[in-house]
């Protein structure tokens, strides 16, 4: 089954910013004629009169796109939405997440999309900019993230745009605002205020995740009794990992190609006849549902893939590969196993991404785990 399609779990307010992006001929607002279709034009062709933007929650938006921003403090009329029609089956580009909000009487539109391209412009704004400048953001990317600001000054309006990119993950961002007068306005300050450190943790490699606190299964003598303790909306599945029958418990499920899938799970096995906690796994987003093949559990992200096994009551990494990018966008590749020599150097590094690419190919052919969603 093909994977890595971002399946969202983020219309309302579409400002003049979004409307100007739909034009394909030069007008008095200074929009440049484009030979390529904007994302809005693609959506209009596919959806006809139906609005292609789907309103979602902030939590759902976080699952669509990693390292997402937040609405600045004091924002009003905050709306999250997603445009799925622009997503490629490979996961790059991914679905387009949009945040609209109002602050100090101005209406803003922010966007984020997995693009893999540091030069990608996801704003949908095509103006003949009056001025532009290069900036370095003070908190994004630990103070090293580069960006660009643009301003269009027309007869009846100002337009400000800021674009920036997380080169480690391959995510492009934009923030735009259209107003009668923006003299003295600093769009970079708003971008800085949209940074949320808690949302950046998904970029860390799996071993760096905070310790997970599992369910309290005191008094549970069977898997069924564990399931009976689950809250509404959680999910469970029984799988064979290696030679071990395992219960997987997900914090939530979502629709993936018609089945209830999950991106995280606590794992339990029977030890001396009673359930015992094995460990916790979490994928990088809904593009990577937990899957199995050859009695291995596949847990992936945009830049990592791990195959887990269970042996003598231990949850072990059979094989794992991932890539880490420096501030210039250069990748270093790693390959690791808890149980065998994989030919990496003393730092776990390998010369290329062949192992990682191979694991993604395996993942594409693996079977997505179907969870049963708890309804109470």
What is the full DSSP assignment across 257-299?
TTEEE-SEEEEEEEETTEEEEEEEEE-SSTTS--EEETTEEEE
Question: Do residues 374 and 234 make contact, with C-beta atoms less than 8 angstroms apart?
Answer: yes
Six-digit token string for 175? 């923030």
Give 282-291 pLDDT, tens digit per residue.
998 889 999 9
Query: How many other CB atoms are found less than 10 A from the CB of residue 288?
Result: 26
**Percentage of the chain with pLDDT > 70?**
83
CA-wise closest residue to 366 among 279, 256, 266, 271: 256
In a domain, 4, yes or no: no
Same-domain check for residues 106 and 153? yes
**Percentage of the chain with pLDDT > 90?**
63
Same-domain check for residues 286 and 316? yes
In a domain, 263, yes or no: yes
Same-domain check for residues 268 and 355? yes
Same-domain check for residues 225 and 148? no
Same-domain check for residues 267 and 334? yes
Same-domain check for residues 183 and 304? no
Prior bond of 93 cis (ω within 30°): yes
For residue 318, what are the β-bridge partners?
Answer: none
Average pLDDT over residues 148-170: 90
Handedness of CA 128, 132, 138, 141 (dihedral sign): positive
Is the pLDDT reported for residue 135 higher than 80? yes
What is the C-alpha separation between 40 and 37, in angstroms, rounded?
Answer: 8
In a domain, 44, yes or no: yes
Same-domain check for residues 242 and 166? no
Same-domain check for residues 355 and 292? yes
Domain boundary among 203, 229, 252: 203
Question: Which residue range forms the structural domain that includes residue 64?
Answer: 16-203
Q: 254 or 36, which is more confident?
A: 254
Q: Which residue has the tokens 């150097």?
A: 345
Question: Do residues 288 and 299 make contact, with C-beta atoms less than 8 angstroms apart?
Answer: yes
* Residue 327, SS3 per DSSP: coil
Q: What is the CA radius of gyration of the chain?
A: 23
Domain boundary among 149, 180, 203: 203
Show Cβ contacts of residue 240 under 8 Å, excluding neighbours closer than 6 positions.
246, 295
Is the pLDDT reported for residue 69 higher than 60? yes
Same-domain check for residues 155 and 217? no
Average pLDDT over residues 40-64: 73
304-311 β-sheet, strand order: 349-350, 331-336, 314-325, 304-311, 296-301, 291-293, 367-368
pLDDT score of 117: 64
Is the pLDDT reported for residue 164 higher than 70? yes
In a domain, 9, yes or no: no
Residue 273: pLDDT band with limits 50, 70, 90: very high
Q: 41 or 55, which is more confident?
A: 55
User: Which of the residue ranges 102-106, 223-227, 228-232 would you say has the lowest mean pLDDT?
Assistant: 102-106
CA triple 369-372-374, angle to 5 deg? 145
Residue 63: pLDDT band with limits 50, 70, 90: confident
User: Which of the residue ranges 46-60, 174-188, 232-246, 295-309 would you say has the lowest mean pLDDT?
Assistant: 46-60
In a domain, 321, yes or no: yes
Is the pLDDT reported for residue 331 higher than 90? no
In a domain, 304, yes or no: yes
pLDDT score of 35: 32
The DSSP letter of residue 66 is S
Average pLDDT over residues 226-231: 97
Same-domain check for residues 186 and 229? no
In a domain, 6, yes or no: no
Is the pLDDT reported for residue 92 higher than 50? yes
Q: Identify the burial level of 295 via C-beta atoms within 10 angstroms of its C-beta, where 0-12 means exposed, 13-18 middle and 19 or more buried.
A: middle
pLDDT score of 27: 35
pLDDT score of 49: 57
pLDDT score of 3: 53
Same-domain check for residues 157 and 233? no
CA triple 137-141-143, angle to 5 deg? 45
pLDDT score of 372: 98
pLDDT score of 7: 37
pLDDT score of 204: 44
**How, if at all, do strands 314-325 and 331-336 pair?**
antiparallel
Domain boundary among 203, 224, 243: 203
Instruction: Please give the tally of structural domains in the chain.
Output: 2
Same-domain check for residues 28 and 102? yes
Six-digit token string for 162? 């800021």
In a domain, 10, yes or no: no
Give 191-212 pLDDT, tens digit per residue.
999 998 878 754 444 444 457 8
Q: Which residue has the tokens 């921003």?
A: 69
């Amino acid at each position: 089954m093909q994977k890595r399609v971002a399946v969202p779990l983020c219309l309302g307010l579409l400002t003049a910013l979004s409307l100007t992006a739909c034009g394909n001929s030069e007008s008095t607002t200074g929009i440049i004629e484009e030979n390529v279709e904007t994302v809005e034009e693609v959506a209009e062709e596919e959806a006809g009169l139906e609005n292609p933007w789907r309103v979602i929650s902030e939590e759902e938006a976080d699952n669509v796109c990693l390292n997402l921003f937040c609405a600045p403090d004091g924002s009003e009329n905050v709306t999250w939405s997603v445009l799925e029609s622009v997503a490629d089956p490979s996961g790059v580009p991914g679905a387009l997440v949009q945040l609209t909000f109002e602050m100090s009487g101005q209406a803003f539109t922010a966007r984020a999309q997995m693009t893999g391209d540091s030069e990608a412009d996801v704003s949908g704004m095509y103006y003949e900019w009056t001025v532009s400048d290069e900036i370095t953001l003070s908190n994004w990317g630990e103070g090293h993230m580069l960006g660009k600001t643009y301003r269009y000054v027309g007869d009846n309006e100002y337009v400000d745009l800021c674009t920036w990119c997380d080169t480690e993950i391959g995510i492009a961002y934009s923030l735009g605002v259209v107003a009668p007068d923006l003299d003295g306005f600093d769009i970079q300050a708003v971008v800085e205020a949209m940074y949320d450190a808690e949302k950046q943790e998904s970029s860390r490699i799996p071993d760096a995740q905070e310790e997970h606190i599992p369910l309290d299964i005191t008094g549970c003598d069977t898997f069924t009794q564990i399931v009976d303790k689950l809250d509404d909306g959680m999910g469970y599945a029984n799988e064979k990992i290696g030679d071990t029958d395992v219960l997987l418990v997900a914090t939530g499920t979502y629709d993936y190609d018609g089945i209830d899938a999950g991106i995280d799970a606590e794992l339990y096995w029977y030890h001396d006849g009673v359930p015992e906690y094995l460990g916790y796994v979490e994928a990088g987003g809904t593009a990577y549902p937990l899957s199995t093949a050859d009695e291995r559990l596949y847990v992936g992200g945009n830049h990592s893939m791990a195959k887990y096994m269970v042996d003598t009551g231990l949850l072990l990494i059979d094989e794992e590969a991932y890539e880490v990018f420096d501030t210039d966008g250069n990748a270093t590749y790693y390959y690791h196993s808890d149980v065998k020599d994989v030919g990496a150097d003393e730092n776990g590094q390998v010369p290329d991404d062949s192992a990682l690419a191979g694991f993604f190919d395996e993942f594409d052919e693996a079977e997505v785990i179907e969870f049963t969603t708890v309804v109470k």
